Chain A
Amino acid sequence: MGSVTNTTEKALKMLRALPRVTIGNIRPNPDSKQRSKRGRGQHGGDKHGAGNKGSGQRQNFMRLGYETGNTPFYTRFPYEPYYKGHHLRREYRPISMLQLQTLLDTNRLDTNGIIDLTSICNTGLFSIKPDERQYGFQLTDEGADLFRGKINIEVQYASDEAIAAIEKNGGHIRTAYYDMRSLQAMINPQKWFEKGVPIPKRMVPPLDAMEYYSSAERRGYLADPEEISKERLVLAQKFGYELPKIEEDPDFERLTATKDPRQIFYGLEPGWVVSLKDKAIIKPK
């Protein structure tokens, strides 16, 4: 067949023969403008959809939930235990191993450093809303079998299969907690630096999360590193793979780099003020 008759090319070709496009000869798409008009005549007119008498026709509506006098539903019950503590529950935005692998394959993530919340948010494909009690990312195990990346990753929750997938390929995973204020700095570091506010100090996890982030089994950032090495072996045996020797890896330094528990950004200390415009860091003495 001949060349592709691209719609754009067709349109541009047509324009060469048409009068000059000016402000006076353009129009909106047909039916895109809807003029709200008051109905007239038998069907649109008369009471105009407001019914007869009452608060409806008089445009003085009853408040939402009002049941014309009897105790309304929303005041009948003094409490609803289903939602108790709802406002305290933490949410973690899921990322599957398949999505992570796709990010690595399409050069979206920089594997030179730690892949943390900031680098995932910086791809522009995932976002965290701390206002909605989202405290970070969790790794789900969809695509764990396909995963082949050797990375140093830090998330807020990871299932066993996800941890196994990463460690099987010679990578390194930790689960870490970031409090609300640190999250604000993490999700958009550029905005934080532009504020001129010093880098905050990361707070310790709340009591109900302390156990999780101190457990070696969950690769918590507060756990004992020796315990974690033991757990790596345990997991290798559980899933039946040979645990690669990360110490003999030439990339050992890059793979095992971890942040201090009080540090938000790797390499930058809390209390520092970063000036992007001047390429300077203001450090307290």
Chain B
Amino acid sequence: MACSVFRGPRFISSILRSSRTISGAEITPKIPAIITTTTLQQPLRHSSFRSSPLVRDLQEYPEVEIVRNPPEWKYVERLLRPQTVPIPPKKVETLPSGWKPQRTYDPKSDKYFVRRTKNHMVPVYLMKTYRGMRQVTLIRYVLGDIWALEKDLRKVVEASQDGKVCASRVNEMSGQITFHGDYVDVVKKYLEEQGF
């Protein structure tokens, strides 16, 4: 696997001068990964004139071969990130991490519904401000009768601290409920039990 330090392909300067065959194959200007001006309508973003090194004496560059549709392409594809969030399993008994898919939404019988985030997680967050002195539990993506959900959540939250009252805020417009304090675990557990 030892290979000499790879400086750059030899044919860059060949394109800059004139077309010249290297290793029997005619190099067409259709290999934009090396050259900055491309056949695309927009210029390549990540290679730039300033960042690419100056062409040096041709002898310094090693001989190369261009392999199209190489067998190693599957390894390249594995490295590219999935564009959108992958779809999680739909119907599953129990998973080791405790993650459960959301139940189906029934607009006729559900009083309220808490939608999952883009990453398919329950939208309960802990917001900390004032250098950690203030902790607020935030529930987002609430559809339907948000006031009824707040009432139900309040019961759960107060039960977790022996009936002590805590402040809450409902924003019907944005579908958010906030509780003053750290009740993330309690709220998450309740929402997961309800199937959200």
Contact = CB atoms under 8 A, between A and B. Distances in A.
Interface stretch (A56-64, A84-92, A189-197, A240-248): A189-197
Contacts of B35: 196
Residue with the highest number of chain B CB atoms closer than 10 Å, among A106, A147, A192: A106
Contacts of B97: 98, 101-102, 104-105, 143, 146
Interface in B87-131: 87-89, 95-99, 107-113, 119-120
Interface in B56-98: 62-70, 72-76, 78-82, 85-89, 95-98
Determine the main DSSP class of A at the interface with B: loop
Contacts of B30: 278
Contacts of A146: 96-98
Determine the main DSSP class of B at the interface with A: loop
Interface residues of B, number: 68
B144 A278 contact: no
Contact of A280 (B44, B63, B67, B145): B67
B181 interface: no
B63 A284 contact: yes
Contacts of B89: 105-107
B96 A105 contact: yes
A279 B119 contact: no
Interface stretch (A35-43, A110-118, A225-233): A110-118
A284 B64 contact: yes
A3 B108 contact: yes
A21 interface: no
Given A3-B107, A106-B88, A106-B99, A284 B3 contact: yes
Nearest to A114: B78
A283 B74 CA distance: 16
A214 to B, nearest CB: 19
Interface stretch (B13-21, B45-53, B151-159): B45-53
A5 interface: yes
Contacts of A207: none
Contacts of A25: none
B184 interface: no
Contact of A6 (B2, B72, B76, B144): B144
Contact of B80 (A4, A102, A190, A282): A190
Interface stretch (A71-79, A131-139, A173-181, A261-269): A261-269
Contact of B63 (A8, A274, A285): A285
A196 B3 contact: no
B86 A107 contact: yes
A147 to B, nearest CB: 7
A191 B143 contact: no
Given A1-B109, A105-B95, A107-B87, 12 more contacts: A3-B108, A4-B110, A102-B99, A107-B89, A119-B78, A122-B82, A124-B85, A262-B2, A275-B33, A281-B67, A282-B65, A284-B63
5 nearest CB pairs, A to B: A267-B75, A275-B33, A122-B81, A271-B6, A4-B144
16 contacts: A1-B109, A1-B111, A4-B112, A7-B146, A105-B88, A105-B89, A106-B86, A189-B80, A275-B33, A277-B38, A277-B40, A278-B33, A280-B68, A280-B69, A281-B73, A285-B63
